[in-house]
A and B are shown apart, each in its own frame.
Chain A
């Protein structure tokens, strides 16, 4: 158990629908990162939150949004889903400013299948 909890582990939904992925960071970590891993692709950075505020944005589609709550858990909302959104979505957390020096701690991911 890495200490980063992601729910649900698996999600199957239809095109056009909206889903919410949830992440609880490791105790004490203030930063939460969301990554997408599609088939044959590496981990693509989507967005980072630090202590409730958006810190950095990557290649995140406008149909996707995220937030971090006062208790530091984060949610990634995916709407108007398309077949191409099928992927593994990982959440990771880190101590403040420690992304590079100490690495992130990843959750086990949510596998989203859009049918």
Chain B
């Protein structure tokens, strides 16, 4: 049972445009949502998070939106840069229960110059 789903395996955008990465979840007990970025031959690195009591969190070029009623979150990258090309993982946790993060399968983003 996959509790965190990233249904699109890849996305390609032009430099300077917006990248929108989507994620759906099924567990209503999740109270924190995170995005990680992973380059080849490296471990995932934390990018941005959002609490379930918020609907938006912004950090520079990265904004995460949360729609609890739809159990959906998205990561917006504006403007996209070639260095953003990586695999992005959506993750969620239930802090009141287990602290472990549940990850989606990842999405490969390619930003073309």
Contacts and interface: CB of A to CB of B under 8 A. Distances in A.
A42 B105 contact: yes
A90 B93 contact: no
Interface in B83-113: 89, 91-95, 98-106
B98 A56 contact: yes
Contacts of A4: 43
How many residues of B sit at the interface, in one of the four size bands?
A: 20 to 34
Nearest to B90: A42
Given A90-B44, A103-B49, A97 B99 contact: yes
Contacts of A106: 36, 43-45
B34 interface: yes
B89 A99 contact: no
A31 interface: yes
* A contacts with B: majority SS: loop
Nearest to B93: A100
B41 interface: yes
B45 A2 contact: yes
Interface in B33-65: 34, 36, 41-46, 49, 51
B99 A100 contact: yes
